[in-house]
Amino acid sequence: MSAPATAELDRARIADLTEREQRRLDESTPGSKAMFERARNALAGGVASAYQERQPWPIYLERGVGSRVWDVDGNERIDFHNAFGSMPQGHAHPAITEAVRTRLELGTHFAAPTEDAVAVAEELMRRFRMPRWRFVNSGTEATMDAIRIARAATGRDTIVKIFGSYHGHHDYVMVSIGVPYDQIGDRQNYVSLRYGAGIPQSVAELTIPVPFNDAATMERRIEQLVEEGRPPACVIMEPAMMNLGVVLPEPGYLEAVRELTKRLGVVLIFDEVKTGLCIAAGGAIERWGVIPDLVTLAKALGGGLSAGAIGGTEEVFDVVESGKVYQVGTFNGNPLAMAAARASLTEVLTPDAYEHLDSLEERLLHGCQEVIDRHGLPGYAVGIGAKGCVTFSPEPIVDYESFKAHQDVALADLAWLYNMNRRVYMTPGREEEWTLTVAHTPEDCDAFVAAFEEMAADLTA
């Protein structure tokens, strides 16, 4: 990854193109507009989650098959959004559909254990090298329970997270993400800033943010917390940051974090809600060979149904098995979700599938980088496995500070509009990445690159 010599872009031209593309998208989505008018009378903001909001209206989807989705206006697009990375299996995969259909007729929920949950745990144990597992229903539940387990295992309250990382919407971790750059404080001692209203300040103060890709600062901060009499229970982190585009760990970083957390008696949690099952069969643990104490999964685990998981060492899971921590939930291990997860893991996300994803990723990264280099755009293509993005920045992004300082927000917004108007359904939001699926073809990747080429040509004409 390198930042090429860049052309000086005409900001007025970016604004004109944005207006033109916005108008074009509005004109092709009258059905979504009408749906929004209806929806907002019952659904707050017309959507089920704030992350589905969009101005002037959201694009409402009707269906998806393989790598394609259709909106309510009948516009067909190639899906690179894939439910924020939950669908590397592609939509309506026949093996998952069949497993769910079979399970439907056998009863969908008992709140009692079933064999599919055992089989899924066994497969996760093999992939992620973790001997103990429990299931939940979302990434939020997975990180919430993992933190509770770490607190119980250590008898400590404070936790450390990476500045800018998203780990779900519970209070412990809705801290120091998406915050104004000028309020974050000193890098050695970042401020614990609440992400939105409704989070008690006293809870936020238990969560200490540190920069990504900087093990020395993490170590210093942990030592300082020990001196202050509030040693941390855990470090929770994405091994590769996926919510600032994609930020890869620098060589040696994960190993250094593993070494220092072990030495200081701090539980290391890898939040693999996005990386797990998408960047390799065994996620970051397989890719980089660094083994944490706990790992959290969700998104891609359920093959399109709600499922999350927490894996861990026998030592840390002792607080669960002994009953000290109540790791509970009526829908944990829901039979329908477990049937889908089992089919996904054993029939869809196979070794061949990962080879296919890696080869598509290489093609897409190479295609985008070639466009960037030829037009001298400020940015670079970066990714791993099924996940990647074009980062619009004249400088490499290594952490939240460099992201906030350098990301070209106007270009990121314009790229999304170009995609949507050229049959590429991309994740909205300036922090998001693409997700490839087993159903994508090399031609699908070429269509993405062609849309990007059009934008680059228009910008530099």
Q: Can you give the binding site for ligand PLP, defined by CB under 6 A? A: 84, 138-140, 143, 166-168, 238, 242-243, 271, 273-274, 298
Q: Which one, 143 or 261, has the nearer CB to ligand PLP?
A: 143
Helix (H) or strand (E) holding 405: helix 400-406
Q: Measured between alpha carbons, how far is residue 190 from residues 29, 175, 183, 209, 337 in Å?
A: 43, 11, 9, 6, 39
Report the nearest approach of ligand PLP to the CB of residue 135 (Å).
13
Q: What pairing do the DSSP bridges indicate for beta strands 234-237 and 159-162?
A: parallel
**d(Cα 389, Cα 247) in Å, to the nearest integer?**
10
Question: The tokens of 398 are what?
Answer: 């290594």
Element holding 236 (H helix, E strand): strand 234-237
Q: C-beta of 130: minimal distance to ligand PLP in Å?
A: 17
Alpha-helix residue ranges (DSSP H) falling in 205-313: 215-227, 253-263, 283-288
Nearer to ligand PLP, 243 or 402 (CB): 243
Q: Please say which residue, 144 or 193, places its beta carbon nearer to ligand PLP.
A: 144
The DSSP output letter for 330 is T
**Catalytic choice (166, 172, 400, 425):** 166
* Given 214, 271, 399, 408, the catalytic residue: 271
Q: Which is nearer to ligand PLP, 166 or 403 (CB)?
A: 166
The answer to whether the bond into 88 is cis (omega within 30° of 0) is no
> Min. distance of Cβ 63 from ligand PLP in angstroms?
22
User: What's the min distance (Å) between Cβ of 148 and ligand PLP?
Assistant: 15
- Angstrom CA distances, 5 to 115, 225, 371, 382, 393, stand at 57, 42, 13, 17, 11
Minimum Å gap between C-beta 297 and ligand PLP is 9
Tokens of 308: 């999350």
**Is-catalytic flag, 166?**
yes
Instruction: Quote the CA–CA distance of 318 and 331 in Å, as a whole number.
Output: 23
Residue nearest to ligand PLP (CB): 139
Tally of CA atoms within 13 A in the half-sphere of 331 that contains its CB: 12
Q: Quick check: 235 and 257 in contact, CB under 8 A?
A: yes
Nearer to ligand PLP, 241 or 447 (CB): 241
Shortest Å, Cβ 178 to ligand PLP: 12
Cα 359 to the center of its chain, rounded Å: 21
Minimum distance of ligand PLP from residue 170's CB (angstroms)? 9
Residue (75 or 296) nearer to ligand PLP, CB: 296
Catalytic-labelled residue, pool 172, 274, 293, 299? 299
Residue found under tokens 């590397």: 88
Query: Pick from 426, 421, 434: which is nearest to 365 by CA?
Result: 434
Give the SS3 label for residue 447. helix
Could you give the CA distance from residue 61 to residue 6 in angstroms, rounded to a whole number? Answer: 37
| Nearest CB to ligand PLP, comparing residues 308 and 378 | 308
Residues 6+ apart with CB under 8 A from 334: 108, 109, 137, 305, 306, 307
Q: Within 10 A of 121 (CB to CB), how many other CB atoms are there?
A: 21
Tokens for 241?
């940051």
Contact 425, 77 (CB under 8 A): yes
Shortest reach from residue 404's CB to ligand PLP, in Å:
18
Report, as residue numbers or ranges, the catalytic residues: 166, 271, 299
